Amino acid sequence: MIDAHAHLDDTRFGSDIDAVIARAVAAGVTRVISCGGDLASSELNVGLAHRSANVLATVGIHPHRARDWSADAEKILAALARHPRVIAIGEIGMDLSGRSAPRDAQETAFLAQLALARRLDLPVVVHVRDAGAETRALVDRTGPTRGMIHCYSEGPAEVSTWLERGLFISFAGIATYPGNGRLREAARLVPRDRLLVETDAPYLQPQSRRGERRNEPAYVIDTLAVIAEARGEDPGALGEQIAANAAALFGPRWPAGTA
């Protein structure tokens, strides 16, 4: 099993990151993808991936930080992305929840990073919040895109709109909440070979862990169990399939023997 999206650079992991990774491995989570959201976090995640055999990194500028996009930022990201432990450009995307950067800044940063990923032949990790139609329109402007929708939050009806664009769909702890049955219904609609599961740690604890102070990659097993139950599948077999899906999506930089 793998955790398709986490933020191990977060300060909440600063004092015990090695123990956090060890707990994940003990739980059967062989790889954690730790995602950048700005230049500083991207650099930190590359360092983590360089030091830990169980961590892989992505680099990118999150829509919350879209005003930081510049030609210099692009050069720095491109340089970071050449590290062999960097497997994608992300976390990038669109967030129209009202708590992010101005829309025009988000669009500029997103389109530029989609183009960067294409030039570097890397997939993308896409953040979509209250902006499904807008994000799809921007993806369509750049042509075929290889990547994943992180922390899927739309409904069942929108699943096909991402699948037909060639994207994988990842579900986080929010899919385990009792009131989010529509997310579990959406998870049932994703083909086995396009499904991913994540924690988004330290955020979004699954229902079984909501009293804890932070989420951890080890807890992806809890979310996997709920998704497997919703799909009528064995969690162990589904976890193996998800690891294989990650290997297929992230390509030659994904370590051999972890699918």
pLDDT score of 83: 98
Structure tokens at 125: 């990790």
| Residue 60 to residue 110: CA distance in whole angstroms | 10
Per-residue pLDDT band for 99 (boundaries 50, 70, 90) equals: confident
The rounded mean pLDDT for the chain is 97
pLDDT score of 256: 81
> Which ranges of the chain does DSSP label H, i.e. alpha helix?
17-26, 39-51, 71-81, 103-120, 132-142, 156-163, 181-189, 220-231, 235-250
Per-residue pLDDT band for 144 (boundaries 50, 70, 90) equals: confident
Residue 259 has pLDDT above 80, yes or no: no
**All structural domains of the chain:** 2-253 (3.20.20.140)
pLDDT score of 258: 55
**pLDDT tens digit string along 76-86?**
999 999 999 99
Beta-carbon contacts of residue 203 (< 8 Å; ≥ 6 apart)? 7, 215
pTM of the entire predicted model: 0.97
| % the chain with pLDDT above 90 | 97
| Residue 219 to residue 143: CA distance in whole angstroms | 35
